[in-house]
Amino acid sequence: MVLGIGALGAAAGALAAPSLAARYGPGPMMLAALAITPLTQIPLLLASPGPVWQFAVGAALFLHLACAAAAGTTQRTIRQVVTADGMQARMQAVSTWLTSGGRPAAALLAGGLGTWIGVRPTLVVGTCLLVVPLVVLCRSPLRSLPEMPGSPTVALPSAEALTPPTPPGPIVPNPAVAVEVRHDRSSEGGP
């Protein structure tokens, strides 16, 4: 149930990302999402057995994944807008390799750290690591990006451009130009 609630948060964040980025700007919206993300780990760090904590962890996971999806959707959109068409596949492959490729190593590291220092201290270390993307974005020029790069400005067409051309009328021969050709068969030597 807790993981299902979290998945709904991811869907909500992805769906809300375009309107939030349009309203607040992509940079400030991503900063806010990345600033909220470490705070969503507090219920997990304080949790004890019982249904109240299960609901608290579920609500925190909903908010965590909503923020992650909103920031992720926005940064992927920015990457796609600024990347040349011929480099889109390479950009996506590198991004996927960096994000997904590090997960097995992170899982091994977290498991080893949890065995060595305990589960709760390892969760604290993981929460502290969630601040790293916020620091990186704070040092980036994207932090104050007011709108999506390359957003086309919509120019309204003129009234002349909207008026369809008038089709030509039917072709009517001009009788004054018509020349009648008559052959006089009597001079041709026929019967």
Question: What is the pLDDT at residue 155?
Answer: 52
Domain boundaries, the chain: 2-88+132-144
List the one residue out of 78, 74, 60, 58 whose CA is nearest residue 16.
74
Q: What percent of the chain has pLDDT over 70?
A: 79
Q: How confident is the model at residue 1 (pLDDT cuts 50, 70, 90)?
A: confident
Q: How confident is the model at residue 34 (pLDDT cuts 50, 70, 90)?
A: very high
Mean per-residue pLDDT, 113-130: 95
Question: What is the pLDDT at residue 55?
Answer: 92
CB atoms within 10 A of CB 90: 11
In whole angstroms, give the CA distance from residue 39 to residue 179: 95
Which pTM does this prediction carry?
Answer: 0.72
For the chain, give the mean pLDDT. 85
Give tens-digit pLDDT for 149-177. 874 444 555 556 666 666 666 665 565 55
Question: What is the pLDDT at residue 152?
Answer: 47
3-state secondary structure of 126: helix
Sign of CA dihedral 9, 11, 17, 23: negative
